[in-house]
Every structure is written in C-alpha cells, then in structure tokens.
C-alpha cells in the first residue's frame, strides 16, 4: 500500500516535470502492479493540473502545455487504456454525438468521455475540436443522437455552449436528444444559464448521468 502511494506521487511528479520517459515507465509499472486504468488517468490529470498551475505562475510556457498534452495522449494510447475504452460488442445503449465547442482546442477530456461511453455500449460520433454551433445542429439533425455532449475547458466556452444549445433548441434537435455539457470549471449555475439538460465536471460522473437519463446501469 505504502509502495503504491509512493508510485502515485512519483507519477504525478513526473507529469509535472514533463518527463515523458519517466511517466511512461511509471505508468507501465503502475498498471502491471494492478492499478486501475481509470485511476492512472486520474493521476496523470492531477499532474497536468499542476502543469497548468505552473503555466499560470509563468514558470511554464505554451510549449509546456503542448508537452503536457502530448504526454497525456501517449498514456491514452496505452493498450490497457484502449482496451478499457473499447466497445463491449454489439450492445447499443444509445448514440452519443460529441464535440469540443467553438474556440476550444482541448480534446483530452472529450476523448476520455467518448472512451467511457463506448465502454458502456454507446455508439459515438466524434465531431472533434473547435466545433461550430452550425455543425452540432447539422449532425444532430442528421443522426438523431440520444445524447449530445459538449466539452469546453476554457472558461469563456460557456458562451459558446449557450449559443450552441440555443441553436439546437431553435432547430428542434432537442426532440430526440438530451444535452450534457462537461468541463472541470462548470457549475449548476452555468448549466441553468446555458440551458443544457445536465452537466458534469468529470467524465465518469457524466457517464452515470447519461445512463440515468436513459434509465440504464452504468459500467465505469
């Protein structure tokens, strides 16, 4: 137990130091020692939050944010994580249409949510990053998803989310679809202002909420 706590700290540290090689070595070791793949992602997330703080304090620069993203993506490519995020087979729990809203290029949170929804039997359509409200509307009308998910990591994206929700409402896309917004900065107050059906600050919480909305049991 003591040993694994130490590994946790080492891993978070290695991410904060942007030591890619060390992160991968520790991540492999942690999984070999039996760490849950999702717990590993939480540790890496803790590390990149520290990178973000250093950026805010001007100890780190944009190149360092880029490196943090590269490291996170490398962890997401590990076979244990990919396996965890793969679809369980033919089960069709529902359809998710997902994108990061206009003006925002962050896609790691979006990809984790998509992975978890896939693992829960959802068919997923990924619109990518910097998605215009017109595209959310177009693909929502075409695909009639059960859930429309929007990711926004930058604080100002609440404005884009609100405009996108308004456009979806005007186009009648909400007849078939529930809207979930996600991002660590979001609050219930934001959700009400934006007009989404629900919000989550964490991907696994988002899956539970979606399953609940569609009345199913979640497998996280």
At residue 178, φ and ψ (nearest 5 deg) are -95, 150
Task: Spell out, one character per residue from 63 to 102, where the chain touches ligand B12: x when CB under 6 A holds, - when not.
Answer: --xx-xx--x------------------------------
Longest dimension (CA), the chain: 55
Can you list the alpha helix ranges (DSSP code H) found in 17-107? 20-32, 37-56, 62-76, 79-84
Cα angle for residues 77, 123, 128 (degrees, 5° grid): 55
Task: Spell out, one character per residue from 30 to 59, where the chain touches ligand B12: x when CB under 6 A holds, - when not.
Answer: ---------------x--xx-xxx-xx---
Cβ neighbours of 87 (radius 10 Å): 17
C-beta closer to ligand B12: residue 8 or 107: 107
* Separation of alpha carbons 49 and 185, rounded Å: 12
Chain residues 107-126 in contact with ligand B12, contact rule CB under 6 A: 107-110, 112-113
H or E, element range at 122: strand 122-126
User: Smallest gap, in angstroms, from Cβ of residue 105 to ligand B12?
Assistant: 4
**105 contributes a contact to ligand B12 by CB under 6 A:** yes
In this structure, what token pair is assigned to residue 38?
């999702």
Chain residues 148-187 in contact with ligand B12, contact rule CB under 6 A: 149, 151, 153-155, 180, 182-185
User: Smallest gap, in angstroms, from Cβ of residue 2 to ligand B12?
Assistant: 27
Q: Which residue has the tokens 């793969």?
A: 86
User: Smallest gap, in angstroms, from Cβ of residue 157 to ligand B12?
Assistant: 8
At residue 26, φ and ψ (nearest 5 deg) are -70, -35
C-beta closer to ligand B12: residue 26 or 191: 191
User: Smallest gap, in angstroms, from Cβ of residue 116 to ligand B12?
Assistant: 9
User: Smallest gap, in angstroms, from Cβ of residue 88 to ligand B12?
Assistant: 20
56 CB burial (10 A radius; 0-12, 13-18, 19+): exposed
User: Smallest gap, in angstroms, from Cβ of residue 10 to ligand B12?
Assistant: 19
Q: Which residues bind ligand B12 (CB under 6 A)?
A: 45, 48-49, 51-53, 55-56, 62, 65-66, 68-69, 72, 103-110, 112-113, 149, 151, 153-155, 180, 182-185, 200-203, 206
């Amino acid at each position: 137990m003591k040993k694994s706590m130490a590994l946790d700290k080492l891993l978070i540290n290695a991410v904060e130091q942007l030591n890619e090689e060390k992160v991968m070595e520790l991540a492999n070791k942690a999984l070999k020692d039996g760490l849950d793949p999702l717990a590993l992602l939480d540790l890496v997330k803790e590390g990149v939050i520290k990178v973000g703080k250093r950026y805010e304090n001007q100890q780190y620069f944009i190149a360092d944010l880029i490196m943090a993203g590269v490291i996170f993506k490398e962890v997401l490519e590990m076979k244990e994580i990919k396996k965890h995020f793969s679809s369980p087979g033919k089960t069709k729990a529902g359809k998710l249409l997902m994108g990061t809203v206009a003006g925002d290029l962050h896609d790691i949170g979006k990809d984790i949510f998509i992975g978890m929804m896939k693992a829960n039997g959802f068919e997923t359509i990924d619109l990518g990053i910097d998605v215009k409200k017109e595209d959310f509307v177009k693909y929502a009308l075409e695909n009639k998803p059960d859930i429309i998910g929007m990711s926004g990591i930058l604080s100002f994206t609440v404005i884009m989310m609100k405009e996108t929700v308004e456009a979806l409402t005007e186009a009648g896309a909400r007849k078939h679809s529930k809207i979930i917004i996600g991002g660590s900065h979001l609050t219930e107050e934001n959700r009400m202002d934006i007009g989404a059906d629900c919000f989550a600050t964490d991907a696994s919480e988002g899956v539970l909420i979606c399953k609940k909305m569609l009345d199913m049991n979640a497998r996280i």
